[in-house]
Structure 1
Amino acid sequence: MSSSSSDVAVEPARPAPPAGRALPNGLAAFLVFLSSGAVLVLETVSLRLVGPYVGVTLQVTSSVIGVALAAIAYGAWTGGWLADRRDPRTLIAPALVLAGIATAITLPVVRYAGELLRGGAASAVLLLTALAVFVPAALLSAVTPLVVKLQLADLRRTGQVVGRLSGIGTLGGITATLSTGFVLVAALPSTAIVLALAVLLGVTGLGLGAYLHRRGRAELPGPGRAKVAAAVLGLVGAGLTTVAPNPCDVETAYHCASVETDPDRPSGRTLLLNSAQHSYVDLADPTYLKYAYTQWIGAAADVAAPAGQRLDALHLGGGGFTVPRYLTATRPGTGNLVFEIDGGLVELDREKLDVRAGPDLRTEIGDARMLVGREATDSRDLVVGDAFGHLVVPWHLATREMADEVNRVLRPGGIYVQNVIDYPPGRFVRSELATVAAVFRHVALVAPPDAVAGLVGSNFLIVASDAPLPLAPLQQRVSGLREAAGVLSGEVLDAFVGDALVLTDDYAPVDQLLATA
């Protein structure tokens, strides 16, 4: 029985695979893992690169994340577009080499540009973060779509190939984020991390190009010239890095830190964190307080108890240990416990500021919010809040719940002093006053008149207790200081605070309140 032509089964035509052969699966996975992970290393380290110039605030962190995501988006888009128009084997190696060169050049570019953009507005923050991240991250993000295109030899397995490589890329990013945050940043300076990454990318790209050339799968256009150009650019980048201005004596896990000698006071030392003045210490005279806010803290401590009486003091934030030194000098026998999150900063203080542990000074490394919860109830006479992330009080140290913990630790009649920085129109200091007043029955504010009037930015010192505050002696002390300051309390303070927001763990928009408007 014969069949007609309409009965003949015809195998459906398969889409033609891309030209050439796929990469070995292990090599493809490595390239995706490396390129995706390198982007996250750059993102993490770039925050440390730009921090000395524009600070480490929520806006800066958001800018770094946003620019990195933009680079990933544009790089993946461009990589996919190129993969459909050229043989990906001719593009992957050059992309890695160029990413290595761009990574190396990032260091001098950021350091020179940072000096010009230091302390700038939001546009300066975005520009500096773009210079730190965008080009190398975009080049690296182009690698994955190029590799994916090569691996799609059988389009019936598209979902499996894309899903596997996408998962590997995500694992690379996770591994890089955790490794950088927990290991690399703690063990190496940012310069070493960036240069090591640049070398890894460059060597991988050159090695991949040589491998493909030997296998006859691709030939990089003009290999001799490309290698020479890459070598020259890499050397230029490394050379510029060696002469680029570096604002750090030491890179800790949290800060770019340096100590400068006061030219007008040989025993004076200024501690700079991310290029901002954070502490001043006179190695020969611990009672010398240079900055106005430390003078206010000293004045509050002076009137907290009879002169010379020892205190049990808790300090949230160490900095240069200015206030613990002052208390030890003015109240012998005082027990100072300092919570400092940055162990590297404490080491720098020991080396250059002569900080020494002993019966009158103990230091615990860790987050103050976590550590204060372990302190015994009614164990301290004085709590000094002076912790900052750049020029901003960390939000979790500014909430009502934190104030509750401080109040629990204080003995009856104990005093809490909190240093904050704010700028016109003064929304944060008002909210922080409202927050502290929600916990303590008696609250006062020490500040310059122009700052209270909203004319200038300034430090503000909040003073709080469950017992009536020694307002008259405090006013007398601050009135006699070099920089005029007043003490606000009662109805005057209530009018200043108005209906300001009470900050809580659930809602504490500190950075937004600090934004000038």
Structure 2
Amino acid sequence: MTSRALPAGLATTLVFASSGAVLVLEIVALRLVGPYVGVTLQVSSSVIGIALAAIAYGTWVGGRLADRYDPRPLLAPALLLGAIFAAATLPMVRYGGEWLRGGAAGAVLLLAALAVFLPAFVLSTVTPMVVKLQLSDLERTGSVVGRLSSMGTLGAITATLATGFIFVAAMPTSLIILTLAALLAVGGGVLAWWLRRQDRSLDMPAKPRTRAVLASIGLVGAGLGAAGPTPCDVETAYHCAQVVTDPNVDGGRTLMLNSARHSYVNLNDPQHLEFEYVQWIGAVAALMGRPGAPIDALHLGGGGFTLPAYLRDIRPGSRQRVIELDGGLVDLDRQKLGLVTGPDLQVQVGDARVGLTEQATNSYDLVVGDAFGHLVVPWHLATREMAVDIARVLRPGGIYAQNVIDYPPNRFIRAELATVAAVFPYVALVAPQAALAGETGANFVILASKSPLPLDVIEAGLSALNAPPVLQRDASFAGDARVLTDDYAPVDQLLAG
């Protein structure tokens, strides 16, 4: 079947824009599903895999359609369907996410498919149809295919960078998707009008009534997505964040990040520590050196700033620095969780590993590692090289307290304990007895120092808590676990058991 080629500029624009739209959807899909199934390597792999499958099938179907039918009248409907399916991802994920909440593999794959497959599949049909239209001269096949392929790749690269550096920081996820859907719809409408003007004899398959139905479906999908349930008070660059009021405690607030309980703050009592692992670290911080005397503390991860507020209250005059990746979360803490910064409590927005390298040697009495991506310690914060830099900034007698979450069979905590013990000569572990026995998942706190730890004092402080944990006085729990390094740190796989 012979069809009229499109102008070179229009063909290039269609390939560039459709390929870019697919990558925008892929990146935003990670943020859509995160509040329901977390942000882990498995989730990222599922979204990327589903998107690639959609591209593969879409390209194959687009090529088959281009061989059987005139591609010209199919291009505008492809853009319009892409717009409709893009808008429909919002209600599908937000309603479906409530049913699929959790981290089961099947739920992750299904939610990823709801978030990206249909619009990516339809938009991926555009490139092979455009290529078929432009292949009017077999002697120029290589040039045409190469040019359009490169423009599709450039569109994907441009969309990836723009979404990661600009759109996510400036716009909520729902607005990014609805804006993309609107642009696709406008582009499809303009293309249909232009093609009809260019070839009035062309029998366009999308009749006015059909277009009206498609537009109505798109509007309904967009409306459901905008009005659908969302667990976010604020969408930061990294989190779906929500502050929940505790009905039983005056001033009690829970910070939810991606639907997980991340921090608890009592606005009326900074010494109230709700979570058990925070109580353990708080007990260690309270008992260091001379009780009540100021100390210098570095916090890797801020969350709700519970521990910094606690230290400020029990050790007045202490100097604290918090390195928190999410600047939007810091703003939320200021607005709703009572965070007040100043010379005694400074916040540095940035990656904890990068920020750590900027700290002076022997400059802190206490380093607290409490940075998480959902329920996972970011892999680059769990390696021997990271521990070496923490040891560098700690003063003699200083303590490193690291919070780790793990589940039976406890492969990650054993590896992380072995990793810290490879750097620090004195190491201890705090955890519930049931977690040490491999009966349940829990928080573990690793304590490490370049000097002997005051274990008797720490054990006495922990014994005074309402639910005293077990203090293991060495690193024997690590067994023969392999030390994690920058070259080998499969944190997500170790947690998956």
TM-score band (shorter)?
A: over 0.9
Counterpart in 2 of 1:19?
Answer: 2
Q: Structure 2 CA distance, aligned partners of 1:108 and 1:429?
A: 38
Residue 250 (structure 2) pairs with residue 269 (structure 1): no
In the alignment, which residue of structure 2 is the partner of 1:426? 410
Which amino acid counterpart does residue 165 of structure 1 have in structure 2? L
Query: Residue 286 of structure 1 aligns with which residue?
Result: 270
Query: Deviations along 1:461-510, whole A, 9 cap, x unmatched?
Result: 000001111111211222222223110023xx41x211001000111110
Tell me how large the CA RMSD over aligned residues is: 0.9
- Find the counterpart in structure 2 of residue 5 from structure 1: none
Deviation at 1:139, TM superposition (A): 0.4
Instruction: State the match for 1:117 in structure 2.
Output: 100
CA deviations on 1:18-41 (whole Å, 9 max, x unpaired) are: 423100000000000000000000
Q: Which residue of 2 aligns with 1:511?
A: 492
Counterpart of 2:138 (choices 149, 155, 162) is: 155
Residues in 1 aligned to 2:119 and 2:182: alpha-carbon distance in whole angstroms: 13
Instruction: Name the structure 1 match of 2:470.
Output: 486
SS in 1 for 2:77: helix
How many angstroms apart in 1 are the aligned matches of 2:285 and 2:81?
Answer: 58
Letter in 1 for 2:275: Y
Q: Which whole-Å CA distance do the structure 1 matches of 2:436 and 2:289 have between them?
A: 28
Counterpart AA for 2:496:
A
Deviation at 1:146?
0.3
- The answer to whether structure 1 residue 330 and structure 2 residue 330 are counterparts is no
Q: Give the corresponding residue for 1:104.
A: 87
Q: Provide the C-alpha distance between the structure 2 equivalents of 1:222 and 1:329, rounded to a whole number of angstroms.
A: 68
Letter in 2 for 1:267: G
CA distance in 1, matches of 2:215, 2:113: 25
Of 453, 458, 479, the residue aligned with 1:498 is: 479
Aligned-residue offset at 1:234: 1.3
Give 1:353-432 correspondences, 5 Å limit.
353-432=337-416
Q: Give the Cα–Cα distance (whole angstroms) in 2 for the partners of residues 461 and 149 of structure 1.
A: 61
Structure 1 residues 222 and 408, CA gap change in structure 2 (3 angstroms): closer
Give aligned pairs, total: 496
Normalised by the length of structure 1, the TM-score is 0.95
Match of 2:186 in 1: 203
Q: Displacement of 1:56 after TM fit? A: 0.5
Q: Distance in 2 between matches of 1:88 and 1:371?
A: 53
Q: Describe the superposition over 1:25-81 as per-residue Cα deviations: whole angstroms up to 9, x where unpaired.
A: 000000000000000000000000000000011111111111111000000000001
| Distance in 2 separating the partners of 1:354 and 1:504 | 38
Aligned pair partner of 1:73 in 30, 50, 56: 56
Secondary structure in structure 1 of the residue aligned to 2:424: coil
CA positional deviation for 1:360: 1.4
Point out where structure 2 has 5 or more consecutive residues left out of the alignment.
none
For 2:389 and 2:103, the matched residues in 1 are separated by 36
Q: CA deviation at 1:203?
A: 1.0
2:15, 2:106 → 1: CA distance? 33
Cα shift readout 1:263-302 (whole Å, capped 9, x = no counterpart): 1012011101001010000011000000001000101111
User: Structure 1: which 5+ residue stretches go unaligned?
Assistant: 1-17
In structure 1, how many angstroms separate the alpha carbons of the residues matched to 2:72 and 2:370? 56
Tell whether the 8 Å contact from 2:33 to 2:112 is kept in structure 1 after alignment: yes
1:463 corresponds to 2:463: no
Q: Which amino acid aligns with 1:89?
A: R
CA distance in 2, matches of 1:446, 1:151: 67
For 1:58 and 1:489, locate their aligned partners in 2 and report how far apart those are by CA, in whole Å: 33
CA-CA distance at 1:222 after TM superposition: 4.5
Contact 1:212/1:219 (8 A) holds in 2: no
- Contact 1:57-1:392 within 8 A present in 2 as well: yes
Matched, 1:454 2:435: no
Aligned match of 2:293: 309
SS in 2 for 1:506: coil
Map of 1:163-202 to 2, 5 A cutoff? 163-202=146-185
Would the aligned equivalents of 2:174 and 2:226 in 1 still touch at CA under 8 Å? no
Equivalence map 1:432-443=2 (5 Å)? 432-443=416-427
- Contact 2:82/2:184 (<8 A) preserved: yes
Q: Which amino acid aligns with 1:451?
A: A
Please give the alpha-carbon distance, in whole angstroms, between the structure 2 residues aligned to 1:134 and 1:295: 44
Residue 250 of structure 1 contacts residue 257 of structure 1 at CA under 8 Å; is this kept in 2?
A: yes
Equivalent pairs: percent with the same residue?
65
Per-residue deviation, residues 435-482 of structure 1 (Å, max 9, x unmatched): 000000110000000000000000000000011111112112222222
